[in-house]
Chain A
Amino acid sequence: METQIANITVDVNEEGYLTNFAQWTPAVAEAIAKDLNIMLTPRHWEVITYLQNEHKSDSPLSIRKISKSGVVDIKEFYQLFPNAPLKAATKIAGIPKPASCI
């Protein structure tokens, strides 16, 4: 479905994740983050860029993967994106919520 984020029309799924990464902009990220009560700092952006690069290379994301990324440790990941960090960080990064394989 279509919605307006930061005055940009974007396609999102029922959970608010962007379905077309081409529509993502830093302003969209800021707006989604604000909605989640997160203020983006340079550290947030490093993590977001890492997640987007991993997504582009089709590499499945998990908390374990983040812990071995060298970009951020898990304690800090939770501080940056409280509660469910992987879900929040991927939403802000404009990439799909990681599908935990069933």
Chain B
Amino acid sequence: MKKIVILGAGTAGTMMANHLKHELKHDEWDIAIIDESKEHHYQPGYLFLPFDIYSPEDIIKSITEFIPKGVHFMNKRIEKVEPTSNTIELTDGDTITYDILIIATGAKIAPEETEGMKGAEWHQSVFDFYSFEGALALRNKLRNWKGGRLVVHITEMPIKCPVAPLEFAFLADSYFKHKNMRDKVDITFVTPLSGAFTKPKSTEALQHLLDEKHIAIVPDFAVQEVDNTNKKIIDYSGKEVPFDLLVTVPTNKGDELMARSGLGDDLNYVPTNRATLQSKNYANIFVIGDASNVPASKAGSVAHFEAEILTENILHYIKGEPLKEEFDGHANCFIETGNGKALLIDFNYTHEPVEGSFPFPGVGPLRLLKENRMNHMGKLAFKWIYWNMLLKGTHIPFVSATMQEAGKHFD
């Protein structure tokens, strides 16, 4: 009996467990998945929790609910991976061996990387919304907040779901309007990038929305310190932005386990072949989702497209066949713009998001890079798709793993 072990039962790991359960012969392969958590979080929901759009029940379910029968779930903490001997040491002293390892340990916030961020004001007037605890604390703060200077801030790239901070700013505008207190709130968006987004066409569309919603932008801001006493953020060139309420996206890092195991780069991301998803250093280790260093968005849709290609590649690897160099960095993201509307973007390593129709070329019904209600319905429907289709590895109809160029308006 051969053994395939998946590290992490989040979005990517759970999808791989479901795919492999279908594809591998039960009498030849034992599939195990290890995670120290008992809960599965719908991470896109963190964006909606602070605004009372979702409740904790929308976001948290039992982790075992989505692990297929026949896959061995181990609720354990991992001490270390020893890639040279194909073993995993658990903190309880047990060791596990593997023939194939899939790393799906994700990324998380590391506020301690920035001086003063996790200081006296942490979760008082300085919040994150990239953790459940942060999003919940921020919801409670916003419920009673009387207004002032709201600063929405990105520390450094890469971050999970790179459009979420902008969405937060848009939803905040909408939230305060509904509470009839928009005139009491100044919203400023502070980013290390040169504009609202990294890709020119979307930056244009998003900048327009920022103007329309009276959200000021401070670009090229590389934060050095959060000053808790004077409530301001200061960048390396000496620029300062004062705040009454700071909603920051701290540095994101891969799991510490990668550092302990010597598998990660300086941000604990695992060096990975961007087309095959095989680890660059070990042939029998594959990496999926936020844990890898591939230059694609760290987002659930990316993990979903990767899972389809990685499953094929693991089957090729088992048969001793060459791997397919197929992953193109495909990402597909809804961007909430507030007031019941959303944008949709679809892009990959080489093509930036452009206008067009999706998923049917020329038909839609969704419109790329255009704000409308249909896209917002798509975003809300996505929660159902996530729990009922995505995690189970069900192919989303009409949406291919690699990006489709038809129906898009390239120059």
Contacts and interface: CB of A to CB of B under 8 A. Distances in A.
Interface of A: 60, 62-65, 68, 74-75, 77-78, 82-84, 87, 99-102
B297 interface: yes
Contacts of B156: 62-64
A74 B158 contact: no
B194 A101 contact: no
B197 interface: yes
Given A62-B156, A78-B237, A102 B220 contact: no
Interface in B277-326: 293, 295-298
A101 B220 contact: no
How large, as a class, is the contact surface on chain B? 20 to 34
Contact of B236 (A65, A74, A101, A102): A74
Nearest to B297: A102
Helix, strand, loop or mixed for chain A's interface?
A: loop
A69 to B, nearest CB: 11
Contact of A87 (B158, B194, B198, B295): B194
B159 to A, nearest CB: 9
Contacts, number: 49
A67 B308 CA distance: 38
A100 B266 contact: no
B181 interface: no
B199 interface: yes
B222 A63 contact: yes
A95 B172 CA distance: 39
B198 A82 contact: no
Contacts of A83: 220, 237
A78 B198 CA distance: 22
A65 B293 CA distance: 15
28 contacts: A60-B293, A62-B156, A63-B156, A63-B236, A64-B266, A64-B267, A68-B266, A74-B236, A77-B236, A78-B236, A82-B237, A83-B237, A84-B194, A84-B220, A99-B198, A99-B295, A100-B158, A100-B192, A100-B193, A101-B157, A101-B158, A101-B162, A101-B295, A101-B296, A101-B297, A101-B298, A102-B197, A102-B297
Task: Choose among B157, B199, B224, B297 the residue with the greatest number of A CB atoms under 10 Å from its CB.
Answer: B157
A2 B62 CA distance: 58
Contacts of A60: 293, 295
A77 B193 CA distance: 17
A37 to B, nearest CB: 15
A98 to B, nearest CB: 9
Contacts of A75: 236
A16 B333 CA distance: 30
A56 to B, nearest CB: 17
Interface in B220-250: 220, 222, 224, 236-237
A62 B267 CA distance: 11
B194 to A, nearest CB: 7
A65 B237 contact: no
B271 to A, nearest CB: 10
A102 B162 contact: yes
A65 B156 CA distance: 12
Nearest to B191: A100
B237 A100 contact: no
A88 B293 CA distance: 25
B12 to A, nearest CB: 17
B85 to A, nearest CB: 28
Task: Choose among B199, B220, B298 the residue with the greatest number of A CB atoms under 10 Å from its CB.
Answer: B220
Contacts of A102: 157-158, 162, 197-199, 297
Closest 8 CB pairs of A and B: A100-B157, A101-B158, A84-B220, A102-B198, A102-B162, A101-B295, A78-B237, A74-B236
Nearest to A73: B236
Contacts of A84: 194, 220
Nearest to B200: A14
Contacts of A63: 156, 192, 222, 236
Interface string B178-209: 00000000000000111001110000000000
Interface string B141-179: 000000000000000111000100000000000000000
Interface in B362-389: none
